[in-house]
């Protein structure tokens, strides 16, 4: 096994946790929370998932950038949208930034005042972050064929 292959396995495990955790939240916990108008169901899940989820996101970034460098996509060549591979890596970084924006909105604006009346706001953020995660996974799957 090469070092790149090992890093890819870590990347895939982290992607499993990040995307899987968000799909579980969006498909199983969120509908119950909305039906019962109970934000605690979401907050309890987030509390349990936070450390694992954030560690997997950090691992995704570190391993992703590492592999991108292995393929010659560096800080200088990024965001030029020239080669298929570089396009995908650039799109992934843009989507990563969108994930950060959602996290900041959730932590500072939505979660501190979450109640049964504004639970839909956190639902929008959860569905957005989950969709972005799935999009990052789909984009990742194109890389072995040279990107888009």
Catalog residues that contact ligand HEM under the rule CB under 6 A.
8, 11, 15, 18-19, 60-61, 64-65, 67-68, 71, 89, 92-93, 96, 133, 136-137, 140-141, 143-144
CB nearer ligand HEM, residue 94 or residue 116: 94
Q: What is the DSSP string of 37-97?
A: T-HHHHHHHHHHHHHHHHHHHHHHHHHHHHHHHHTT--TTTTT---SHHHHHHHHHHHHHH
CB nearer ligand HEM, residue 33 or residue 89: 89
Least Å distance between CB 142 and ligand HEM? 8
CB nearer ligand HEM, residue 68 or residue 119: 68
- Closest listed residue to residue 147, CA positions, set 97, 100, 89: 89
Least Å distance between CB 110 and ligand HEM? 21
Terminal C-alpha separation, the chain: 27
Least Å distance between CB 67 and ligand HEM? 4
């Amino acid at each position: 096994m090469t070092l790149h292959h090992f890093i890819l396995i870590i990347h895939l495990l982290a992607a499993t946790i990040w995307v899987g955790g968000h799909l579980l939240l969006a498909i199983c916990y969120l509908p119950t929370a909305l039906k019962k108008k109970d934000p605690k169901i979401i907050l309890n899940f987030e509390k349990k998932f936070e450390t694992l989820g954030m560690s997997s996101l950090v691992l995704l970034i570190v391993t992703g950038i590492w592999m991108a460098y292995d393929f010659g996509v560096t800080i200088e060549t990024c965001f030029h949208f020239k080669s298929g591979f570089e396009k995908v890596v650039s799109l992934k970084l843009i989507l990563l930034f969108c994930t950060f924006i959602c996290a900041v909105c959730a932590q500072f604006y939505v979660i501190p005042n979450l109640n049964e009346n504004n639970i839909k706001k956190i639902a929008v953020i959860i569905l957005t972050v989950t969709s972005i995660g799935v999009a990052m996974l789909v984009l990742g799957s194109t890389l072995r064929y040279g990107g888009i």
